[in-house]
Chain A
């Protein structure tokens, strides 16, 4: 029976020599959600995503993506996943239009109209070589390459870092607030931005999962932690940042 989650991990761990990057993380990303994987730099977000996409093998534990074990993920599953990362190495010497030409043949469900719309909207210069694009333009390019085949699952690894405010708004307003039938997993350390569109969140701290659940559940979960904490006046809405800070402090005091 198909799962109601697009992503499920069970106790995944990853070590690099003596260093443990992930310690038994179990995640469940519900279908249709915009799931924000949050944590400071080095918390293990990118490691978790690389395991989900079978780019890296977990030291232990299992991960299932779109009901398939991530280690056995083949072209059929990858055709339903869009991935955008700030570190994504696209062929630098290809021109923008040449890369789109190339990708079109990879996906049976490629929507040329959507591609044209995205390229217009993101103002991607067709003749420019990918290697000559700015960081922000490359991220937009990666996003424009991840959407025209209408993936069931969009995985975004730190898509907002290093972008100017205008570009952030374009991406958030243009794509994430209107995810539609897509499920989205987005990793970020920009907690304030994520708050605008996330339906579910998970907090990672030093490779350990502190919380996961809906934004509503998070508020309930965080209330005891925030009582007496030096945050904002009671009448003010508690932000993701405040909750995250409180959780990290609690985790540190527990250890």
Chain B
């Protein structure tokens, strides 16, 4: 029976399947032609609209196949036929596996093989990615289709979902401000995303079961709306997320031997302009669609004037090939007896902490932690000393691969880097890499001339500790690094002469997570 339902759906939907496959093919071609291979400008322009078309095409196909035998209603023919509900559901799933997942798998595979990745390295990741896409994208779309009878109902339910989601988001931002999503903006946000994906997957299975085996449409629709609310309100607390990350790194209890300390005198700057400016900034942030930043401005400005405290930091105990990433900081200001003010998290990021040996230049930049505190706390009782303590959640990064490749048109292949190529693009050397599976998020590269002279090291560390591939569409991740190498205005000085570029080389380092740990800095005396 499954085969018969499949065949019937194929007869009805094959033109749509062809269209979606064509979109998939174009999208894969664009991605192939995009960067590492040809840097084709047309491909760059195509990739965004094609991605939108892909999502819409997939959604339309999923819903269309479910709507061929709709669940809600009393007049559809299949209800009076001796068709097992399990067969019907299986036939729909099989159809989507065959018409969406299989073509995508083949295209992903051909793409990866064309770039030169071995079949054995690629196939496992591709199968995993297709399963991931099926469970967390296709099944939820199927659930939406199963809870509606036709396109009109789907549009109404979709509009209801968007409104419910937006209302939840707005109320969450109103009541909790920036604390509404503890892991957002950090390398741990993948856990929140995974939680949301699991919610979607489980919700989809429940709705599909309710619809196909019980035909409980009102209950299913309520569940779908509740799932939209859960996506906003079910948040992983920061401490739990960090503990999970520590467990995953396998170094939860290991002594780190790393110490972050205050590297000099604390600086107290004049009070910032109070509320009025904060409101203006918040309005501007809202107009740019950044709710978190808007709330940040309001929080900072809401209590009157604030004073900027700056603490210079240094890290001891790091090896020469190590870095320290600050995942989160929390500050508390108090006197000897009690905490008067707490800022958790601190919005300002001190940046990467690296061993002094790695810092280049005559006067190396010292990382500074900026903290804004209400001025009243410092001025009303100016004679009383205050103490500032900062708690840090840190990640120790270590070089896991180091490579040397020509600065112009160099190519590199390695397990951690994947396939990387370098080329000159106006005033920068661009290093681009494609890798099967998750990309690398912490990279550095230095341009060396033939005489050994070198430019400043370029680094890019945007923490993302997820252990899995996050993408729905592509199986190859993309990461890159830009090295500024010349400045026509003469404002910046570069040690490597552009005339020597064809004999220059890049030293490229990839950092991997070594350990996650917490540490307190201070107390630091403020005023008094």
Interface residues of A (CB under 8 A from B): 50, 53, 55-56, 74-76, 78-79, 81, 83, 85, 87-91, 93-94, 98, 102-103, 105-107
Contact = CB atoms under 8 A, between A and B. Distances in A.
Most chain A beta-carbon neighbours within 10 Å: one of B1, B8, B73: B8
Interface residues of B, number: 18
A75 B8 contact: no
Interface in B6-43: 7-8, 11-12
Given A78-B82, A91-B68, A98 B75 contact: no
Interface of B: 1, 4, 7-8, 11-12, 68, 73-77, 79-84
A81 B7 contact: no
B82 A79 contact: yes
Contact of B82 (A53, A90, A106): A106
A94 B12 contact: yes
Nearest to A83: B80
A90 B78 CA distance: 8
Given A93-B12, A94-B12, A75 B80 contact: no
Contacts of B1: 105-106
Contacts of B83: 75, 106
14 contacts: A55-B75, A56-B74, A75-B84, A76-B82, A78-B82, A79-B82, A88-B77, A90-B77, A91-B77, A94-B11, A103-B81, A105-B4, A106-B4, A106-B82
B82 A107 contact: yes
B19 to A, nearest CB: 16
A173 to B, nearest CB: 25
A56 B82 CA distance: 17
A138 B267 CA distance: 85
B79 A55 contact: yes
A107 B83 CA distance: 9
A17 B4 CA distance: 39
A90 B8 CA distance: 12
B382 to A, nearest CB: 71
A106 B81 contact: yes
Contacts of B82: 74-76, 78-79, 106-107
Contact of B74 (A55, A74, A79): A55
B75 A87 contact: yes
A89 B7 CA distance: 19
Contact of A102 (B4, B74, B79): B4
A50 B82 CA distance: 16
B18 to A, nearest CB: 16
B505 to A, nearest CB: 62
Contacts of A90: 77
Contacts of B76: 89
B79 A91 contact: no
